[in-house]
Amino acid sequence: MVMKKKVILDVDTGVDDALAILLAVRSGELDVLGITTVNGNVSLAQATINTCKILQLAGAENDIPVVQGADKPLMRPSHFEHKVHGKDGLGGALRDVPVHKQAEPGHAVDFIFDTVRRHSGDVTLVMTAPLTNLALAVMKYPQLIHEVQEVIIMGGVVQGFGNVTPTAEYNIYVDPEAAKMVLQAGFPKLTLVGLDVTRKALLTEKHLDALQDSPFADYVRASTADYMQRYQERNGVRACALHDPLAVGVALNKELVTTGHYYVDVETRSDLCDGMTVCDFQNRLQRQANVHVCTGVASEPFLELFIEALRR
């Protein structure tokens, strides 16, 4: 029997985090040990409700614990994204669905450390939100970096423009101090799935049609409708960028992306560029590479994998 890859997801459940959770659960190839929530697209409380609702929708509410983490960034105020993800964070798609599942007692930071230690060397952390929880975990448990198998982060952009400011991607922008700490922490394997690749993983009308015989078709169509509209206004294409699902895709199959190993740091002291991920492609700073940066993606194979998982 093939051992499933053990993962913990850390989410701020908005539209694409929800799709990432569905992919992780429905792929059947991951052992999701737990989901930790954090302030980000929406408040911590809303992210937790949304996560519980998605697990109910996926039929996994009894199998996967949800644990709450930080309710604000390390040093900055919250920066919600209701414009993109809607008032409730799920584009209103589950507005009237009652939530039965509740978060477990305890804090995400302790849950991450205890779970990783229990399966030392075997757990991949898939981070699809501001990195506050992981930064707090590294501060409280510095030995964590030696016990994790890999950290996969949806965040940053190294060769293009940001999606909050001209230079910064949302997850890094919201808590740049946390992101800097995580990137500099010394994790032996850290992969950055940034906008460079996630902007190429576009769910379009064609893919929605292909989802028709999936139990999640109505949900996906409803939750992505406004998101697609916003994306079209900004980028001229009607699509939903599968930012967070691609991070799960990388956990499922590394071959979906090409990567380069570089030194990457985060700007935290600039009016204009806070949250920018600076990648030293030419090793000008002579620092040791700390991040496997995704530079290319096999978009259609990833979309196929996504659709297959949801149809299964």
Pick from 154, 177, 173, 176: nearest CA to 164: 173
Q: How far is the CB of 129 from Ca ion (least distance, A)?
A: 5
Q: Which helix (H) or strand (E) holds 219?
A: helix 217-235
Work out the number of other CB atoms within 10 angstroms of the CB of residue 271.
Answer: 5
Q: Name the one residue in this structure whose structure tokens are 């448990």.
A: 141
d(CA 201, CA 218): 20
Which one of Ca ion, ligand BDR, none interacts with residue 30, CB within 5 to 8 A by kind? none
Q: Cβ closer to Ca ion: 170 or 262?
A: 170
Residues in 113-132 at the binding interface with Ca ion, rule: CB under 5 A = 128-129
Can 100 be counted among the known catalytic residues?
A: no
CB of 119 within 8 A of CB of 158?
A: no
Residue 275 structure tokens? 């949250």
Q: Cβ closer to ligand BDR: 16 or 196?
A: 16
Kindly state whether residue 46 participates in binding ligand BDR, applying the rule CB under 6 A.
no
Q: Cβ closer to Ca ion: 210 or 251?
A: 251
Q: How far is the CB of 271 from Ca ion (least distance, A)?
A: 25
Residues in 67-106 at the binding interface with ligand BDR, rule: CB under 6 A = 81
CB of 132 within 8 A of CB of 39?
A: yes
Beta strands in the chain (DSSP E): 5-11, 30-37, 66-68, 123-127, 148-154, 190-193, 202-203, 240-241, 257-262, 264-266, 277-279, 291-297
- The three-state secondary structure class of 50 is helix
Active-site residue identified among 119, 243, 261, 292: 243
Kindly state whether residue 133 participates in binding ligand BDR, applying the rule CB under 6 A.
no
Interface residue with ligand BDR among 38, 136, 154, 250 (CB under 6 A) is 154
Kindly state whether residue 54 participates in binding Ca ion, applying the rule CB under 5 A.
no
Q: How far is the CB of 309 from ligand BDR (least distance, A)?
A: 19
- Which region among 8-16, 75-83, 118-126, 195-203 touches Ca ion (by CB under 5 A)? 8-16
Interface residue with Ca ion among 17, 61, 150, 267 (CB under 5 A) is 17
Residues in 236-255 at the binding interface with Ca ion, rule: CB under 5 A = 244
Binding interface with Ca ion (CB under 5 A): 12, 17, 128-129, 244
